Each structure stands twice: as C-alpha cells, then as structure tokens.
Structure 1
Amino acid sequence: MLGNKVTMGQSLMVTVFSMVIVFLALLIISYLIKGLQNFSQKDKKKSKETIENIDLVNSEKGVEKAEESLNDEELVAVIAAAVAASIGVDVSNVKIKSIKRVSQNTPIWSKVGREEQIFNRL
C-alpha cells in the first residue's frame, strides 16, 4: 500500500487512522476504570453494613478505657467521626470497643516531611 514515495493523502489517512485507534483505546480504558470504580463501591457498601468493631493497636502503655475521663470521651468521638467520614457511613453505625495507641517508629524528619506535604496541599 505504501511504497517508496508516500503521498500527502496516504500520510493523512495513516494519521487519522492512528488518532482513531488512540481515542478508542482511551475510551476503552476510561470505561474499564469506571467499571472498577463501580465494582469497588459495591464492595464498600457491603463492608459498611458489617462494620461493628474497630480496634486501634497500642504500643507500650496498654489499652486505655474510653470512659475514664471527659478527654477520653472526646477522643473517642473524634476517632469515631473520622472513621465514619473516611468509610462514608453514619457515626451511629460505628462502634468502637477499644482504642490502643500505636508507637511511632518513624524518624522525626520523616514525620515533619509528611506534615509539610499535607499542609502544602491545603
């Protein structure tokens, strides 16, 4: 079809054909991504209904009871609200049985770097 000499019409035909193939591939990829998003949202809806217990891991001091003081109750309320917002359910559907602190094994420079990145996005 294409010989030693390529005419302007042939080059235009190859260009248009290539562009059509690229746009079709992008369209197929976008539909695949939408399908995966819908599929993952269905799984989230199922998991939201079954969420009853949320445990946060503790390090050295052991398990702290949430009912000990007003500050602990406020901490539980904040954690419950954050968990409910992140998974997209009502706060009344989230039941926290225990809260355990996690030790920070990361260096301070790493923590500061993460905080800077988060604050720069705001």
Structure 2
Amino acid sequence: MVFPEIITVNDSLIITAFSMLLVFAALIILSFTIDGFRLITNNLEKKNKSKTEPIDEANKQVTSPIVEKTTNQEEDTELIAVITASIAAMLSKPANNIVVKNIIRIPQTTPVWGSISRQEMINK
C-alpha cells in the first residue's frame, strides 16, 4: 500500500480534535433528543390525566402522611436515645446539645431480596 501523502503530527492532531468535536456534538444532540422525548411524554401524560380526572375544588381532600405511633413508651425512649447517640457520634458533639423533635418512619423501597442479600454479606 502506497500513501500519496505523509501525515504529519500537526495533521494527526487536527484529525483527532475534529473527531472529538464530532463525537461530542453527536452526544449533545442525542442528549437534547432524549430530553425532548421526556418533555413530550410528560406533557402528554399531564394532558391525559387532566382529561380523565376532572378536579372539583369542593371535593378536594388533603391527605397527610400516616405516622406510625407505638404504644410502648419504653421502645420510643430507647429509639430516641439511639438516634440521638448516632447523630452525636456523627457530628462529634455531646448528646446534650442535640434535641430530637420528630421521628418519621420512611417506608422501605429496597426489594426484599436486596435486603436479604445485604444481611447475608454482613453476616459472612
């Protein structure tokens, strides 16, 4: 194979820079396209939801999150002590300066199989 021209270092740098710019431009266009599709689908979902569910201001009900209350005062006190101690250890401050005012239990979002897997890894 015979090349009619010899490629210099400058030529190779120009080719590299042009190729990188081309790839980045393609990625930016792809990113905007994906964002556009997301916006279009969100707008369609909102329109469909508003058509199927008429909002009646008089019948609107406000729901508050359900907070699980335990009847055992000793468990609550122990839980507050543990949370206060862990916050004090994390902040490197004495526990006397920390006041726990409200505790809200967050529902578990991890699947059961994921929790079991983590427990098994800890117990090994």
Normalised TM-score (structure 1): 0.41
Q: Considering only CA atoms, is the larger Rg found in Structure 1 or Structure 2? A: 2
